[in-house]
Amino acid sequence: MRRKVTVVGAGNVGANVAQKIAAKELADVVLVDVVDGVPQGKGLDMLESAPVEGYDVRIVGTNGYDETANSDIVVITAGFPRKPGMSRDDLLLANYEVVKSATEQAAKQSPNAILILVTNPLDAMCWTAMKVSGFKRERVIGMAGVLDTARFRTFIAEELNVSFENVTAMVLGGHGDTMVPLVRLTSVSGIPLAELADQATIDRLVQRTRDGGAEIVKYLKTGSAYYAPAASTVEMVESILKDKKKVLPCAVRLEGEYGITGLFVGVPVKLGKDGVEKIYQIKLDDGEKAALQKSADAVHELVTVLQQKTQ
Ligand code: APR
């Protein structure tokens, strides 16, 4: 049976997600955007590379949701990037409206879909999508930890001049300044990072990971990262569609795990055909616990703003 993935938002992240899904022949893709012509044009352009690339999937772009019906997965990347003069709250509320409307329409057409959120501020947008869709927490998942972990792995591999593939790491917490790279559980082919690099080096790599998104924005000036975010999203899509059961750090709604309730926070989960199939509660030391709680507090602050302004 053919699988279908809807990607809402045909901008930098969305178009790259669509293209990577097609290139891996994971599913047919429906690309949705509010701008007339853009999803249609990008969708057709991608389709026209099928004979050259050799993939047999259908890709269609649209401004509506009819064609998204019965999607297995809906990836939401729609939203505004932050502009000069905008406060964090302004971005939060603008993207709340976008994610709310996208979720409402997509969930209506695909009531059994798994939602993957990419729009920022990520953890608050996951909260929005869950509230609007009424879906169970197993089917509302945020992409952040895979990207933050990929950045950490990249910086470690470069620093040590080893294969990127050999570096295993786990970054927990919210997608922001308060993310929690777990150095204790980071290794190169099983060798703990602490045996390969001194503390000052590790601290520098951790800080670069925290600032990973900002580093790209500084270069691009008019937008944020999209190649690594798209690749990270597609790793999640693939694990679900192929029921690979990969263990990945994703934003999920915690209900008591790690002492946190009612908030989306990045933790290790198993991703398979049913979405989040298990939440791993790993033992954290006191410093890690405090850092995760601080991260949850930052997420709580944004959700409180949403609750107050959207009543
Ligand atoms: N419905 C559908 N698409 C929308 C809507 C909406 N209501 N509102 C805006 N869009 C579309 C825009 O038209 C644009 O094509 O979302 C797209 C966003 O694309 P970009 O501006 O290129 O932003 P991008 O870099 O893709 O980032 C999107 O992902 O990583 C996050 O922080 C990032 O929140 C941002 C999101």
Q: Which pLDDT belongs to residue 176? A: 82
Q: Which pLDDT belongs to residue 165? A: 96
Ligand 1 pocket, 226 CB below 6 A?
yes
For domain 145-310, the CATH class is alpha beta
Question: In a mutational test of the pocket of ligand 1, which residue from 17, 34, 63, 227 has the highest number of ligand atoms less than 8 Å from its CB?
Answer: 34
Q: Round to whole Å and give the CA distance between 42 and 38.
A: 6
Second CATH level (architecture) for the domain 4-142: 3-Layer(aba) Sandwich (3.40)
**Residue 111 Cα distances to 83, 140, 237, 268, angstroms:** 34, 12, 17, 26
Ligand 1 pocket, 142 CB below 6 A?
no
Q: Which pLDDT belongs to residue 180? A: 93
Q: Which pLDDT belongs to residue 1? A: 78
Ligand 1 pocket, 213 CB below 6 A?
no
Question: In a mutational test of the pocket of ligand 1, which residue from 19, 65, 68, 77 has the highest number of ligand atoms less than 8 Å from its CB?
Answer: 77
Averaged in consecutive runs of 10 residues, what is the pLDDT profile of the chain (311 residues)? 96 98 98 98 98 96 98 96 59 93 98 97 95 98 97 98 97 89 96 98 96 90 93 98 98 97 97 98 95 94 90 72
Q: Which pLDDT belongs to residue 83? A: 59
Q: Model's pTM, two decimal places?
A: 0.97
**How many whole angstroms from 285 Cα to the centroid of ligand 1?**
38
Mapping DSSP to helix (H, G, I), strand (E, B) and coil, where does residue 122 land? helix
- In this structure, the dihedral spanned by the alpha carbons of residues 86, 90, 91 and 92, taken in order and rounded to 10 degrees, is 150
Q: Does the annotation count 175 as an active-site position?
A: yes
pLDDT single digits (tens) 192-239: 999 999 999 999 999 999 999 989 988 998 888 999 999 999 999 999
Mapping DSSP to helix (H, G, I), strand (E, B) and coil, where does residue 51 land? helix
Ligand 1 pocket, 118 CB below 6 A?
yes
In contact, 181 and 154? CB cutoff 8 Å: no
Ligand 1 pocket, 65 CB below 6 A?
no
Catalytic residue among 175, 210, 253, 270: 175
The residues pairing with 188 across neighbouring beta strands, listed in sequence order, are 167, 191
pLDDT single digits (tens) 130-162: 999 999 999 999 999 999 999 999 999 999 999
Q: Which pLDDT belongs to residue 223? A: 86
- In this structure, the dihedral spanned by the alpha carbons of residues 194, 198, 201 and 206, taken in order and rounded to 10 degrees, is 30
Q: Which pLDDT belongs to residue 310? A: 79
Strands 275-279 and 261-272: antiparallel
Q: Which has the closest alpha carbon to 287: 201, 181, 195, 208?
A: 181
Q: Which pLDDT belongs to residue 171? A: 95
Domain ranges of the chain: 4-142, 145-310
